[in-house]
Amino acid sequence: MLLTVLLCTLGLAKAGYEPTWASLDTRPLPTWYDEAKVGIFLHWGVFSVPSFGSEWFWQHWQGAHIQAYVDFMKKNYRPNFTYQDFAPQFTAEFYDPYKWAQVLNASGARYVVLTSKHHEGYTLWPSRYSWGWNAVDVGPKRDLLGDLQLAIRTLTPHIHFGLYHSMYEWFNPLYLQDKAMHFQTQNFVKRKTMPELYEVVNQYKPEVVWSDGDWEAEDKYWNSTGFLAWLFNESPVKDTVVVNDRWGRGIPCHHGSYYTCSDHYNPGVLQPHKWENCMTLDKRSWGYRRNAPATDYITIHDLLTELAMTISCRGNILINAGPTHDGRIPPIMEERLRQLGSWLDINGEAVYQSQPWTHQNDSLTPGIWYTSKGDAVYAIVLKWPQAGILTLGSALATASTSISFLGYSSGPPLRYRMVKKGLQVVFPPMSEVKGQWVWVLAMRGVNPTPLLTPPQTFMSEPSHSNFIHFMQ
Ligand SMILES: *[C@@H]1O[C@H](CO)[C@@H](O)[C@H](O)[C@H]1NC(C)=O
Ligand SMILES: *[C@@H]1O[C@H](CO)[C@@H](O)[C@H](O)[C@H]1NC(C)=O
Ligand SMILES: *[C@@H]1O[C@H](CO)[C@@H](O)[C@H](O)[C@H]1NC(C)=O
Ligand SMILES: *[C@@H]1O[C@H](CO)[C@@H](O)[C@H](O)[C@H]1NC(C)=O
């Protein structure tokens, strides 16, 4: 009797999700994920060798026969060169996962998601189900996934380790057979996708399983709910793992721990369900591109803008970097990540563990995004106001209002007054504040202006084409 009560109190008695979305969707989101807010995505694989165009290189060259890719191969490689011939050049000789962990840590990110296997099918771990086409058999001769996992968990254990996994493989004959049978057979799922997923989870205990490559077939074909029921009930990460929403045609934006909907999803209005904006430092590719000019990289200001907008609307941001074939995080990406971390060092209070406020962006002044935590409301200010005076249309001062400026902690609280248009705040002199690019006001004792209309919380229906990576 006592034991039963105890078990019920601990919520243990309720364990046992059924392999249906109705049941799986009742699982509460593990709290670490919403609190983390910022993650780093890493796209690394054999595509990092040609590092031309995008990580879709193989498909663009030999699937779609896009001229630029065909020409690139004709001009630079011997006749009959195959995609597999790139693998021995995936050398990773400078790969130091402890250095990567330091860079990730310096970015302020609280989780990392590495491509364990992209659509090319090459696994970054020595999978028993990917014989001859994995990082130990050909290329680096090293367990790239396992080594990052170990480094993160040893050096920076507060960063949650996660992995990306593609369900489909462009050119896998087993997959193509199932596809030719209109997915009425499941040989690829039974012999490849599922064994591999169970293997990678059991072996590396990822706290994020970021699924992709699902969109050509229904979740029923992939057996997604069967896998997820195991993941949530019995797997070694059942209590802490989170999953995204790419588990079969029609599933994204509808089911999963959190929604990613489409790549670069950033709706700009409050969402009812936890979501994630996965976006890239190189605006045109997830995988490394050798010929990307500096202007193709997002500026720190644009990155912070994206971050502010995302977290104000209940999202997490997953920022992608593409390491090189020889195992480096390119300096321009490292610099951007370190800039982000230096900003978070000062302003992290408005980010980590924050929640959306009543208003997401200011009704009067463009470029102000709000978050909240306890009795504090944070205004993230993307542009230093003219003459150092900012007017907020969405916040009302009260008798107990106090406003401080993050990174100006030694200074006095800011002066403010209510004017007809709203709450006017006097900024400190720019030369006396620590931060740069984007600034944060921490306001206590303010009220939201009344909402004129209920918050707009729609989920946009992603079109099918969104799911074909459009990063080209
Ligand atoms: C390329 O492959 C074709 C067909 O296998 C073969 O006939 C040809 O000799 C090969 N060319 C070279 C340069 O190896
Ligand atoms: C991780 O980052 C924190 C905060 O910037 C820093 O104090 C700590 O030394 C870093 N740890 C490592 C292993 O780099
Ligand atoms: C689907 O998942 C269920 C539950 O884990 C399992 O019993 C079944 O064998 C799986 N089928 C395939 C095709 O993987
Ligand atoms: C607030 O955001 C919405 C959606 O992004 C936009 O339509 C609106 O113009 C923004 N308001 C201001 C004042 O920037």
- What is the residue whose two structure tokens read 């693998």? 87
Ligand nearest to the CA of 196: 3
* CA gap 425, 241 in Å, rounded: 42
Specify burial of residue 423 (Cβ count, 10 A radius: 0-12, 13-18, 19+): buried
Ligand 2 site-directed mutation target among 105, 152, 158, 351, most atoms within 8 Å of CB: 105
3-state DSSP assignment of residue 339: helix
pLDDT at 454: 56
Ligand nearest to the CA of 312: 4
Residue 226 region by backbone torsions, left for phi larger than 0, else alpha for psi between -120 and 50, else beta: alpha
* DSSP code, position 254: T
* CA gap 359, 270 in Å, rounded: 9
Measured by CA distance, the residue closest to atom 5 of ligand 2 is 106
* CA gap 228, 298 in Å, rounded: 35
State in Å: Cα 74 to ligand 1 middle. Answer: 14
* CA gap 312, 269 in Å, rounded: 8
What's the longest Cα–Cα distance across the chain?
Answer: 78
284: tokens are 């045109």
pLDDT at 455: 52
C-beta pairs of 297-303 under 8 Å, 24+ apart in sequence: 297/332, 297/333, 297/336, 298/336, 300/336, 300/339, 300/340, 300/343, 300/437, 301/382, 301/437, 301/438, 303/336, 303/339, 303/340
State in Å: Cα 81 to ligand 1 middle. Answer: 10
Residues 6+ apart with CB under 8 A from 75: none
State in Å: Cα 207 to ligand 2 middle. Answer: 21
pLDDT at 411: 73
Measured by CA distance, the residue closest to atom 8 of ligand 1 is 80
State in Å: Cα 394 to ligand 2 middle. Answer: 36
Handedness of CA 305, 306, 310, 315 (dihedral sign): negative
CB atoms within 10 A of CB 462: 17
Domains of the chain: 29-353 (3.20.20.80), 368-448 (2.60.40.1180)
- What is the residue whose two structure tokens read 């720019």? 430
Backbone angles phi, psi at 169, to 5 degrees: -130, 120
Helix count (H) and strand count (E) of the chain? Answer: 14, 14
Specify burial of residue 146 (Cβ count, 10 A radius: 0-12, 13-18, 19+): middle
Backbone angles phi, psi at 394, to 5 degrees: -105, -5
State in Å: Cα 79 to ligand 1 middle. Answer: 7
Give the pLDDT of the chain (472 residues) as one tens digit per residue: 444 444 444 444 456 999 999 999 999 999 999 999 999 999 999 999 999 999 999 999 999 999 999 999 999 999 999 999 999 999 999 999 999 999 999 999 999 999 999 999 999 999 999 999 999 999 999 999 999 999 999 999 999 999 999 999 999 999 999 999 999 999 999 999 999 999 999 999 999 999 999 999 999 999 999 999 999 999 999 999 999 999 999 999 999 999 999 999 999 999 999 999 999 999 999 999 999 999 999 999 999 999 999 999 999 999 999 999 999 999 999 999 999 999 999 999 999 999 999 999 999 999 999 999 999 999 999 999 999 999 999 999 999 999 999 999 777 899 999 999 999 999 999 999 999 999 999 999 999 999 776 555 544 444 433 333 333 3
- What is the residue whose two structure tokens read 């045609």? 249
